[in-house]
Structure 1
């Protein structure tokens, strides 16, 4: 039995507002998100669990709510695209577009938060290729359009999300064909999942390894419980200041990847590029 439509899949990429989007959809209360977890990683990391397991995370056909998964790790992975097309071919695919240089800097700090040592942006990208690869919009948006059809793939502006979250949510609700609900005042203007650097890199790596292992074994409720324990505040309170490191990494971003530069220039000339023309000039 297939997952009952309607279904929407936010494919990312990482560090393009997907945590904020998930928080908005969850707060609405009228959207069926995966039960007991934020990301399932089904289409890329735990596919061996089988589609029956994935189906069980959503309500049955008697529940007519829109089903949604926010899955930022999928965008740049062809195998994930192929699997999604096989199991949810009717899905609306939504990609949030962020300036890839800014996104790469944010992704750098994503890995710093997980316990990676301080290094150059180029070194981080060599260690974790998705720092660059996940932001190649011209390359990867096409694979989703070819798999699902361009009429099922939607591009949304991260810049609009940051500058005008209410306008972003109106556009999002229109795409999803659901009633508009304004974002909670506590969510508007809030940067969810903001960058932090742990005070102890070894401890951060251990926490990350334990969390990943628990998720792979299906213990998502345990992971959710751990998130609310004081350990997280202890791990990141007192962490190194980011101002100087962020400045240095931003300076490296423009020239770090010729591949990223060419891809972004190509993508910006798409007719459906989701950023206003006057913003394109300063992107």
Structure 2
């Protein structure tokens, strides 16, 4: 088996800095990430492929680098937690904590990028429930901690990543037992995976649908090649026209979901998590 301890899994949630973290770990070169893809979706969407398929995405056992996957879609899914515990029970589980209202706004634009029409935040959340679900820290964090133990479940601050990426990477390296290496200027000088919206909704949906089908059929190398073409430059705006829409959605975020408000308050009140709260 190619999944040899230690193994670390970043469970997300979506829009909490995981793309940046993946880029940093990939840049290091001394971490073994799944080959030819950024996310495997094994523990939630393609579990039927079997654990042997998943382990085959990592180097052979002769490669002694730390195995890591950055999987932002897992955090709010109970079945994913069960499956991870079944297959890699000694994994280190890392979750980045971001103010859930800011995260919801970012998640809104995540779906806009994929071709969702312009709407209110509430309407978008009704269509895509994970805009709320993925940010319910008080509900989901205890599940992962109970499954893996306080010593293997780690919370990290998105705000620290945003404001002081070097300190964030130092803390990250401590958790992963890696030699500290400051992030390169290519990461500290620009935002990774910044919000964009498509110039044409139909084309965006067509492209995203094609990429999804390719992933489901295992054509991850093709997906990777397409992402490195000029497709994003002509398909998406550079974000200049988003100021008005972003301000509108951000204004809606403060109180659009009572469930999110109650959950965030409960999460902040947990003494065991107070160190992360102060950093938000």
Q: Which moved more, 1:184-193 or 1:198-207?
A: 184-193
Q: Which moved more, 1:183-192 or 1:101-110?
A: 183-192
How far apart in 1 are the matches of 2:239 and 2:181? 37
Map of 1:82 onto structure 2: 82
For residues 210 and 150 of structure 1, do their structure 2 counterparts lie closer, same or farther at Cα, with a shift above 3 Å needed? same
How far apart in 1 are the matches of 2:207 and 2:10? 26
For residues 113-155 of structure 1, give each alpha carbon's deviation from its aligned partner in whole angstroms, at most 9, with x where no partner exists: 0000000000000000000100000000011111111211000
Would the aligned equivalents of 1:9 and 1:70 in 2 still touch at CA under 8 Å? yes
Equivalent positions of 1:187-198 (< 5 A) are 187-198=187-198
Map of 2:62 onto structure 1: 62
Map of 2:12 onto structure 1: 12
Map of 1:121 onto structure 2: 121
Query: What is the deviation of 1:237?
Result: 3.6
Query: What is the deviation of 1:191?
Result: 1.1
Query: What is the deviation of 1:73?
Result: 0.3
Q: Check if 1:101 corresponds to 2:101.
A: yes
Task: Provide runs of 4+ in structure 1 moved above 4 Å.
Answer: none
Equivalent positions of 1:7-46 (< 5 A) are 7-46=7-46
How far apart in 2 are the matches of 1:41 and 1:15? 16
How far apart in 1 are the matches of 2:240 and 2:181? 38
For residues 88-111 of structure 1, give each alpha carbon's deviation from its aligned partner in whole angstroms, at most 9, with x where no partner exists: 111000000000000000000000
SS in structure 2 opposite 1:203? Answer: helix
Q: Check if 1:236 corresponds to 2:225.
A: no
For residues 7 and 79 of structure 1, do their structure 2 counterparts lie closer, same or farther at Cα, with a shift above 3 Å needed? same
RMSD: 1.4
Q: Which moved more, 1:177-186 or 1:265-274?
A: 265-274
Q: Which moved more, 1:144-153 or 1:116-125?
A: 144-153
Query: What is the deviation of 1:190?
Result: 1.9
For residues 62-86 of structure 1, give each alpha carbon's deviation from its aligned partner in whole angstroms, at most 9, with x where no partner exists: 2211000000000000011100000
Would the aligned equivalents of 1:97 and 1:155 in 2 still touch at CA under 8 Å? yes
Q: Which moved more, 1:248-257 or 1:58-67?
A: 58-67
How far apart in 2 are the matches of 1:273 and 1:35? 36
SS in structure 1 opposite 2:186? Answer: coil
Would the aligned equivalents of 1:97 and 1:158 in 2 still touch at CA under 8 Å? yes
Map of 2:273 onto structure 1: 272
How far apart in 2 are the matches of 1:9 and 1:252? 33
How far apart in 2 are the matches of 1:273 and 1:183? 27
How far apart in 2 are the matches of 1:49 and 1:276? 38
Query: What is the deviation of 1:3?
Result: 1.7
Q: Which moved more, 1:240-249 or 1:154-163?
A: 240-249
SS in structure 2 opposite 1:68? Answer: strand
Give ranges in structure 2 of 5+ residues lacking alignment. Answer: none
Give ranges in structure 1 of 5+ residues lacking alignment. Answer: none
Query: What is the deviation of 1:239?
Result: 7.0
Alignment coverage as a number of residue pairs: 279
Q: Check if 1:203 corresponds to 2:207.
A: no
For residues 189 and 239 of structure 1, do their structure 2 counterparts lie closer, same or farther at Cα, with a shift above 3 Å needed? closer
